[in-house]
Amino acid sequence: MAESTTARARWMSALAQAGPTAVEAVWASLGSPPAYRLLRAPETGLVMVRGRAGGTGAPFNLGEMTVTRCSVALEDGRVGHAYVSGRDRRHAERAAVLDAVLQDDAARPDDAARGRLERLVIEPLLAARRARQQEIRARAAGTKVEFFTMVRGEE
Amino acid sequence: MRAGFADPVFDSQRVFRRVLDAMSEPGRVITVEAPPPGPVPLQPATVAIALALLDLETPLWLDGASRTPETVAYLRFHCGCPIVDEPGRAGFAIIADPDQMPQLDAFDAGTDEDPDRSATVIVQAGTLGAGRGTRLSGPGIAQDAWLDAAGLPARFWEGLRTNHGRFPRGVDVVLTAGASLAALPRTTRVGG
């Protein structure tokens, strides 16, 4: 996968998994929002989530989840897409616009300016996601049973 | 890229109704209200029909004039339809340049058991008018209807007569011009 594709996948994933309030907060940090028009207005639907046991087994259907998608175009023609979890239409629209401006940001010729917006907008979302995952892991770790420590009494 | 329907559900239902009206009264010129402006060279009525009827289960064939990168990107994005290279594998076809179009029998005419699995061919005419031009008769037409469609070669009308002769097999044709459309289903007799 090309460098630009992995970068885009990273921020799209961050925007999709962040909560609507978190996305709204980074949106506010943009200052003046860019002018854009809707290519596909936000719409809610179901997608089938598939998985592979152990990451390598045969694919199976894990279940359906609710997603909201949206596509926008900036004035310069740059197109942004978003598929976000949940049914918050505003979240999807914000994420699609952010996808478009982040592509502009990643394409800047000037090395110093390139990626500045990504660090400003996406890093806080990724940090929040790491913290959330850490908390879930910690909670799960508290219930883990260490079978090796159980010693049979009669010996 | 241009936008699709402003209100996908109600706009597609409205356009579906217009196509149904056109199919049940062949030769009648029907206007689609406020069709979205699509990519050049597609006519607004062609775009409206595509947005209403095409989806991931309808393979689409585009002629040389309409197969531009913009058209392909627009239809892939808004309709999600696969675009095929052979006319015979298409469920729908869009023809922007009727002078260069393949014969109608190049498209899927269905089978005697399943004549409904045939293709629908959308042909963009220069203009569409009623009251003069080519005489039409058949189911859905009380006495006779006259359809005046500009910019269609003689072999297109010849092909329609052959198409009618294959009934129940055959393709259905929708003519578009601007925001207007008229249907020429396989049941319609052309001329004579």
Residues of B in contact with A71 (CB under 8 A): 77
Nearest to B3 among A38, A43, A77 (CB): A38
pLDDT at residue B15 tops 60: yes
- The nearest alpha carbon in chain B to A38 belongs to B3
Q: Could you tell me which residue, B56 or A109, shows the higher pLDDT?
A: B56
- Residues of chain B with pLDDT > 90: what percent? 87
Q: Using a pLDDT cut of 70, give the percent of chain A over it.
A: 93
> Does the pLDDT of residue B90 top 80, yes or no?
yes
Q: What is the pLDDT of residue A117?
A: 83
Quick check: B149 and B122 in contact, CB under 8 A?
no
Q: Do A39 and B6 touch (CB under 8 A)?
A: no
Structure confidence at residue A155 (pLDDT):
57
CB contact under 8 A, B78 and A41: no
With beta carbons under 8 A apart, name residues in chain B contacting A37.
Answer: 3
pLDDT at B37: 87
Highest mean pLDDT among A146-150, B5-9, B174-178: B174-178
Residue B1's pLDDT band, with cuts at 50, 70 and 90, is confident
Q: Tell me which residue of A37, A101, A33, A30 sits closest to A73, measured CA to CA.
A: A37
> Which pLDDT does position A29 carry in this prediction?
83
The whole-number average pLDDT for the span B168-189 is 96
Please report, as a single letter, which amino acid is at residue B175.
L
Model confidence over A38-65: pLDDT tens digits? Answer: 999 999 999 999 999 888 889 999 999 9
pLDDT at A152: 66
Strand arrangement of the beta sheet that strand B189-190 belongs to: B145-149, B128-137, B189-190
Least confident of A69-73, A104-108, A134-138: A104-108
Residue ranges of chain A whose CB lies within 8 Å of a chain B CB: 37-41, 43, 71, 73, 77, 79
Nearest CA in chain B to A72: B3
Neighbour-count burial of A56, counting CB atoms closer than 10 A to its CB (0-12 exposed, 13-18 middle, 19+ buried): exposed
Contact B33, B16 (CB under 8 A): no
pLDDT confidence of residue B48: 97
- Given a cut of 70, is residue A154 above it in pLDDT? no
- Cβ B124 vs Cβ B65: under 8 Å: no
What pLDDT shows up at residue A19? 87
Over 60: is that where the pLDDT of A1 sits? no
C-beta atoms of A43 and B1 within 8 A: no
| Cβ-Cβ contacts under 8 Å, A41 against chain B | 6, 8
Q: Search chain A and give the residue with CA nearest B73.
A: A79
User: In the prediction, which pLDDT does A113 show?
Assistant: 74
Per-residue exposure over B49-84, b if at least 16 CB sit within 10 Å of its own CB, e if not: bbbbbbeeebbbbbbebbebeebeebbebbbebeeb
Tens of pLDDT along B135-164? 999 999 998 899 999 999 999 999 999 999
Q: Which residues of B touch A39 (CB under 8 A)?
A: 1-4, 77
What amino acid occupies position A44?
T
DSSP-derived secondary structure for B68-81: -HHHHHHHHHHH--
Using pLDDT thresholds of 50, 70 and 90, give the confidence band for residue B192: low
Give the global pTM. Answer: 0.83
Average pLDDT rounded to a whole number, residues B69-92: 95
Of B3, B8, B78, nearest to A37 by CB-CB distance is B3
- Is pLDDT at B81 greater than 80 in this prediction? yes
Q: Do B3 and A43 touch (CB under 8 A)?
A: no
Do residues B65 and B96 lie in contact, with contact meaning Cβ atoms separated by under 8 Å?
yes
Q: What is the pLDDT of residue A151?
A: 64
* Interhelix angle A20-29/A116-141, nearest 10 degrees: 150
Region class of A119: left (phi > 0), else alpha (psi between -120 and 50), else beta: alpha
Whether B44 and chain A come into contact, CB under 8 Å, resolves to no
Write out pLDDT tens, residues B31-71: 999 889 899 899 999 999 999 999 999 999 999 999 999 99
B3 touches chain A (CB under 8 A): yes
Out of B1, B4, B8, whose CB is closest to A79? B1
Best probe of the B interface among A37, A40, A83, by most B CBs < 10 A, is A40
Q: In whole angstroms, what is the distance from residue B147 CA to residue B29 CA?
A: 8
pLDDT in tens, B17-42: 999 999 999 999 999 998 898 998 99
**Sign (positive or negative) of CA dihedral A59, B58, B119, B64:** negative
Q: Which positions in chain B touch A47 (Cβ < 8 Å)?
A: none
Cβ separation of B3 and A40 shorter than 8 Å?
Answer: yes
**ipTM confidence score:** 0.71
What is the DSSP secondary structure assignment for residue B103, as one 8-state letter? P
Average pLDDT over residues B102-127: 95
Cα(B71)–Cα(B151) distance, integer angstroms: 22
CB contact under 8 Å between A73 and B4, yes or no, is: no
Contact A80, A71 (CB under 8 A): yes
